[in-house]
Amino acid sequence: MRAVAALRNLPHGFWHGVDRCLDHGRGAWPYCVVAFHRIGDYGDELGYPATGFAALCRYWRDHYEIISLDQLLARLAHGDVAGAPTLSVTFDDGYRDNHDVAASILDGFDMSATFFITAGAIGTERRFDWDAGLAQRPALMNWDEVRALRAAGFGIGSHTLNHARVSEVHGRELERELVGSRQLIETELHQRVEDFAYPYGLASDCGTEAREAARAAGYRTCLSCHGGLIEPGVSAYELQRVCVSPRFHARPRDWARGYSRMLWQRGGRASLRAAA
């Protein structure tokens, strides 16, 4: 137990060094996309404190190449590999604190992000079921706030019309959730919407039917939310994301340790032997 505690208290710079060792000699890094929901002290897994978010952004800015989703997709399309740790930031659902809090923090670090919104809930008083037990019920953005994010240079994507679990809807209902969401966002923003993130985003939600429906609805990409890094050459309809948690990623060192673990699981043992 003392050894575990000692490892947890190592500075995050140590874990960044481990990152470099794990991929030494490989010549290519995987891409990483992170997912947030709310930015604020809500006391649950979906709320990430603003001070912690700023600390993570500072760490990422200093240790990663931060690229937009557009840049990521362009690199994947051309088969480009990352020569350094590379990261893209996304948000799901459409909470107001994304506009009020997250955007200014991101802008302060000159970082891009894409916000996937539940189109049918924007500008309404709707509250999601998982927010019902919170002492502070988080509000959703209105369309003026979504437009402000887009005008500031952030990406806007679809998260279905009603936060539907796409593995449980089919046929016309699935088409309505996907096409209806895209069309509503395009009507409000007067710009094309091409990117889609699955609500819930478990592996079971991201099957062949869902991917083909997203393709048919006019999206160029699908993003899950069940963890994992993105290898060069992967299909744009099978992109994984890492959900950033206040429990597992409370500090930059926690993130760095988790990222190192993902690299290790990816095959870092062989790379470490090669570097030794």
Q: What is the pLDDT of residues 199-239, one digit of tens each?
A: 999 898 888 989 999 999 999 999 999 999 999 889 999 99
Count other Cβ atoms within 10 Å, centred on residue 44: 14
| The predicted structure's pLDDT at residue 28 | 80
Model confidence at 3: pLDDT above 80: no
- Structural contact between residues 233 and 76, judged by C-beta atoms closer than 8 angstroms: yes
CATH 3.20.20.370 fits 29-258, yes or no: yes
Model confidence at 170: pLDDT above 60: yes
> What residues are paired with 155 via a beta bridge?
114
pLDDT mean across residues, the chain: 88
Q: What percent of the chain has pLDDT over 90?
A: 78
pLDDT in tens, 86-125: 999 999 999 999 999 999 999 999 999 999 999 999 999 9
Count other Cβ atoms within 10 Å, centred on residue 124: 11
Pairing mode, if any, of strands 31-36 and 242-243?
A: parallel
Query: 37 or 274, which is more confident?
Result: 37
Alpha-carbon dihedral sign for residues 233, 192, 207, 227? positive
| The predicted structure's pLDDT at residue 227 | 93
Residue with tokens 């991101």: 106
Query: At 64, is the secondary structure helix, strand, or coil?
Result: coil
CA distances from 158 to 17, 78, 93, 98, 272 (A): 37, 24, 9, 15, 40
Residue 120 structure tokens = 């049918």
Side chain identity at residue 91, one-letter code: F
pLDDT interval class at 27 (50, 70, 90): low
Query: 150 or 16, which is more confident?
Result: 150
Model confidence at 143: pLDDT above 50: yes
User: How many Å is the Cα radius of gyration of the chain?
Assistant: 19
State how far the Cα of 222 lies from the Cα of 235, in Å rounded to an integer.
9
Model confidence at 191: pLDDT above 80: yes
Residue 187 structure tokens = 């009507």
Whether this prediction's pTM lies above 0.85 is answered by yes
> C-alpha angle with apex 159: 90 to 108, nearest 5 degrees?
25
Model confidence at 10: pLDDT above 90: no
> What residues are paired with 31 via a beta bridge?
86, 230
Helix (H) or strand (E) holding 117: strand 114-117
- Structural contact between residues 89 and 37, judged by C-beta atoms closer than 8 angstroms: no
| The predicted structure's pLDDT at residue 256 | 96
Query: At 229, is the secondary structure helix, strand, or coil?
Result: coil
| The predicted structure's pLDDT at residue 252 | 97
Residue 132 structure tokens = 């019902």
- Structural contact between residues 192 and 151, judged by C-beta atoms closer than 8 angstroms: no
Picking from 223, 259, 219, 221, the residue whose alpha carbon sits closest to that of residue 91 is: 223
Picking from 37, 89, 33, 34, the residue whose alpha carbon sits closest to that of residue 199 is: 37
Pairing mode, if any, of strands 155-158 and 114-117?
A: parallel
